[in-house]
Structure 1
């Protein structure tokens, strides 16, 4: 089944959210199941990309102009070449959800429980919003 996800970090420059497709293979009955599948896919993609990094990096003039407009020029390199653990990533995302560090919306409806039954339809959009803690005096 094909689904989409998009992410937003509060406080970052408001850019249009990009829908990123992903497929689920196993039955998904809860938000916990969905998060586990999504995190597993993303960690595998991250680890595969670390292996596919070319030895020499270059940037074209067009890429340089595009990057300059966004205010950041980089070569796509990773800060840490180490392989990431799927189990650790799943544990981290579940704990972050329980600690209310991010929100999950399914087609603009907030999901509040990891274990509540979840009805998923083809082409549903899941939005992840990372929350930012406020600092200051009361």
Structure 2
């Protein structure tokens, strides 16, 4: 089944959310089931990119011009070149959700619990909003 997800970080300048397609293979009955499948896919994609990184990195003139418009020129290399653990990523995701570091919306409806039952249809959209802490003192 094909679904979409969007990501938003509060405070970032990009206002338009881009729908990114992903598919689920196993039946999903709760939010936790969905998050487990999505995190597993993301870690696998990250680890595959690590293997496919070319040895000689270069930028074309067009890529250089595009990068200077955003104020950051880089070669796309990763600072951490080790493969990531799916289990560790799963643990981090569950802890972050319990600590309310991100919100999940299913077609604009907030999901507050990992055990929330889901009724998913083709082309549903899940939005992930990463919350940021405010700087300063409480009192």
Q: Please give the TM-score of this superposition, normalised by the length of structure 1.
A: 0.97
Cα deviation, residue 66, structure 1: 1.1
Moved over 3 A (4+): none
Cα deviation, residue 96, structure 1: 0.3
Cα deviation, residue 74, structure 1: 1.2
User: What are the residue-to-residue correspondences of 1:7-46 with 2, within 5 Å?
Assistant: 7-46=7-46
Q: How many Å separate the matches in 1 of 2:44 and 2:28?
A: 19
Q: How many Å separate the matches in 1 of 2:76 and 2:14?
A: 22
1:67 alignment partner in structure 2 = 67
The alignment partner of 2:132 has SS state of coil
Q: How many Å separate the matches in 2 of 1:132 and 1:58?
A: 34
Q: How many Å separate the matches in 2 of 1:48 and 1:14?
A: 27
Cα deviation, residue 15, structure 1: 3.4
2:49 alignment partner in structure 1 = 49
1:82 alignment partner in structure 2 = 82
Q: Which runs of 5+ in 2 are unaligned?
A: none
Q: How many Å separate the matches in 1 of 2:5 and 2:118?
A: 16
2:122 alignment partner in structure 1 = 122
Q: How many Å separate the matches in 2 of 1:71 and 1:125?
A: 31
Q: In angstroms, what is the RMSD of aligned CA positions?
A: 0.9
Q: Please give the TM-score of this superposition, normalised by the length of structure 2.
A: 0.96
Comparing 68-77 with 21-30, greater Cα deviation is found at: 68-77
The alignment partner of 1:67 has SS state of helix
Alignment partner of 1:134 is 2:137:
no
Report the number of matched residues: 138
Q: How many Å separate the matches in 2 of 1:21 and 1:33?
A: 17
